[in-house]
Amino acid sequence: MPDTSPPRKPGRPVEFNRNRVLDTAGLMLMNGGIEGLTMRRLASGSGTTLAAIYRHLGDKEGVLSAVLDRFSEDIPRTPTHGTPQDRMLAIGHGMYAVLVTRPWIVDILRRGGSTGTGALWFAEEFIAAAEELGATPVDALNTYRALWNYVLGALLTRVEPERTLEADTPLARKILAAAERDKLPRVRAYVGGPMGTSERLFRRGLLAVVAGLAAQCRAA
């Protein structure tokens, strides 16, 4: 007997709102870092499906890359002034200021394979300043990489607030014992003294790093 039932209506297409998905992913990254972002939670939180996310953005790496690109497009491009060395210094401060409150970006960049394309002007401005000082294009690029390594290291080792290495802690006792054994009076004196804030240490270090890089550019 032929089937006379009416044809089934196709289901409603799954809604995929790119902005909503990326907003949700950004909140998850802010609150829980990369480990706090799972594809299932992202689909549930943004009102879509796993299949839709995979179709439009790819896997988790694709989502991270899309979030990073979107965020970087909103970074204001602040003009730099002064000598090439002044501009190199300003760029280092600008990079740190953008990343210091967003550790999830550092985690994404450390994984490799992603970069915030909207922030490439940092590299452009720094390389241009290095070339003005006499660096070759290759040396200028390597100079920028050296700056990035310093900024990244400062962010990865950042501690707050300003603190002192108290003398009566397991770490301090270990350092003191090693300093006594190996006759390291300056290390011994360091225990119990102020360590300074991360920002203060970063500023002092950046001055030295940029001065050294600028000198290398001039000598190229």
Domain ranges of the chain: 18-73, 84-161+197-219
The answer to whether 163 touches 200, Cβ cutoff 8 Å, is no
Return the SS3 of 194: strand
CB atoms within 10 A of CB 207: 13
pLDDT of amino acid 84: 95
Per-residue CA distances from 193 to 163, 167, 169, 173, 190 (Å):
9, 9, 14, 14, 5
Buried b (16+ CB within 10 A) or exposed e, 105-115: bbebbeeeebe
Q: Looking at residue 165, what is its pLDDT?
A: 56
Separation CA 190–CA 33 (nearest Å): 34
- The percentage of residues in the chain with a pLDDT greater than 90, rounded to a whole number, is 52
Report, as ranges of residue numbers, the positions in the chain whose pLDDT lies below 70: 1-14, 113, 159-167, 192-196
Specify the CATH superfamily of domain 84-161+197-219: Tetracycline Repressor, domain 2 (1.10.357.10)
Q: Measured between alpha carbons, how far is 8 from 195 in angstroms, rounded to an integer?
A: 71
For residue 181, the model assigns a pLDDT of 85
3-state per-residue secondary structure call for 110-140: HHCCCCCHHHHHHHHHHHHHHHHCCCCHHHH
Under a CB-based contact definition with an 8 Å cutoff, are residues 202 and 96 in contact? yes
Which positions ≥6 away from 28 have C-beta within 8 Å? 36, 37, 41, 42, 45
- In this prediction, residue 5 carries a pLDDT of 41
Longest dimension (CA), the chain: 99
Fold held by 18-73: Arc Repressor Mutant, subunit A (1.10.10)
Task: Cite the DSSP H helix spans in the chain.
Answer: 18-32, 39-46, 50-57, 60-73, 84-100, 103-111, 120-132, 137-156, 170-182, 185-190, 198-219
pTM of the full predicted structure? 0.75
DSSP 8-state code for residue 181? H
Q: What is the model's pLDDT at position 189?
A: 77
The per-residue pLDDT for 115 is 79
Query: What was the pLDDT predicted at 77?
Result: 81
